[in-house]
Structure 1
């Protein structure tokens, strides 16, 4: 039951952002940049009995992944700005994300 509820709510959020982005790409992007997925995940973890320490560790994981995610978004945005095809842009973004995460892991060992 939780899976269906989580899927429905998450799908509704993504669907709403897509509709807003069709009307106003900039505003849709601003809404998409909100930490909605992180907060929804946090709520689902809590509802399913997650302890405070686990919730905190999850959020620190989100923070750890944030710099490489920003890099991915920047790479995709610039690739699209320079007329690269969407899937090539996404592929470059994913490669950049992985490289940035690797470098970050070297610089900030756990």
Structure 2
């Protein structure tokens, strides 16, 4: 049980740290947020839990393909906000656009025989 609490605590501390740093400097917050900390932590936790390099490799490969559609959020949100759209509405629309991009990517990859 302690192990799971430690995993949650470490992950939560990193997210809070990034948001606090972003209050002071959007550049440094962006640098920290752009580093795939969540993915790295997930790979570490997966390896510790399973000791299976193959599972870690599969996760890393899947993350690669799914990073591409996730970029839609970072394109759509600033455009919507610059157009004066309310933050929460802009975020919701950006998430919906990103979800659509995920679906398109998974469909496209499946069509070409790439299974995630």
1:61 alignment partner in structure 2: 62
Q: Contact between 2:73 and 2:95, CA under 8 Å: does it hold in 1? A: yes
TM-score normalized with structure 2 length: 0.86
Aligned residues: 110
Unpaired segments of 5 or more residues in structure 2? none
1:102 alignment partner in structure 2: 103
Q: Does 1:36 align with 2:37?
A: yes
1:51 alignment partner in structure 2: 52
1:25 alignment partner in structure 2: 26
Unpaired segments of 5 or more residues in structure 1? none
CA RMSD of aligned residues (A): 1.3
TM-score normalized with structure 1 length: 0.90
Tell me by how many angstroms 1:26 deviates. Answer: 2.1
Partner Cα distance (1:83, 1:92) in 2: 13
Pair 1:76–1:50, CA change in 2 (3 A): farther
User: Deviations along 1:69-89, whole A, 9 cap, x unmatched?
Assistant: 101221112212222112111
Which consecutive aligned stretches of 4+ in structure 1 deviate over 3 angstroms post-superposition?
none
Tell me by how many angstroms 1:2 deviates. Answer: 1.9
Partner Cα distance (2:34, 2:91) in 1: 17
Tell me by how many angstroms 1:60 deviates. Answer: 1.0
